[in-house]
Amino acid sequence: MSYLNELIKKTAATMPFAGKAAGKERALREELVNFGKMLHSQGFVAATDGNLSVRLDSGRVLVTPTGFSKGMMRQEDMVIVDLHGKKLSGFYNPSSEIAMHLTIYRMRPDVGAIVHAHPCTATGFASAGIALDEPLCSEVVITLGAVPLAPYATTGTMELSDSLRPFIPFHDAILMANHGVVAYGEDLRRAYMRMEAVEHYAKIVLATRQLGSARSLNSRELEKLVAVRTQYAKNGR
């Protein structure tokens, strides 16, 4: 009986979720599960692709585990790390791309969640070396602005973080050459919706290219949209 008690204590120590998780943490774990399923159902990830994370507090991040289908995760599978990547709790290892997430969190205190995925059309543009920065659609200008293309860097290395650094302060979504997309925002809902918006816009750009004609918004039209974008940001759209 004493061995069982010790085993239970050890399990609880390595996994705060088991009866200890605060309401906020429990809700964030559920969000990671739900938005992971949405990524998978939309075809934005396949097999064990992609990763998601949320900021728990000023010093801790809750992140999806490595090697898991985003459509098959459970709340208890999530991992907690500090801002240096040290695992604080969880049965599994954090995503192999945790360094990219932590770089964004350190550079953008306003960011509360990050989504990385490989949506087919947007990743096609990334693999073709084409940024999504043509002002073709008013709604995209308001919600995303431009989506730049970061140079290629090896997945899961600090080189990847370094390639993103010049773009992180000025953009909320970035194409990664020959890789995929990372989007981030105040919370997981906004980060996910930006990922959806990137893929939607990539489809629009592809359609205009197939049609053989694309009319970009002019400078005056863009100035008006930027003013609307600023107002939406103030209103917390």
Catalytic center residues? 97
Q: In whole angstroms, what is the distance from residue 173 CA to residue 167 CA? A: 9
Q: Is 67 left (phi over 0), alpha (psi -120 to 50) or beta?
A: left
- Hey, what amino acid is at 86? K
From residue 224, alpha-carbon distances to 172, 217, 219 in Å are 20, 11, 9
CB contact set of 97 (below 8 Å; sequence gap of 6+): 51, 116, 155, 156, 160
C-alpha distances out from residue 213 to 108, 172, 195, 210, 216, Å: 37, 28, 26, 8, 10
Non-local CB neighbours of 138 within 8 Å, separated by 6+ positions: 217, 221, 225
Contact 53, 113 (CB under 8 A): yes
Q: In 3D, which of 73, 61, 52, 66 has the Cα closest to residue 25?
A: 61
Q: Using the 8-state DSSP alphabet, how is residue 74 labeled? A: -
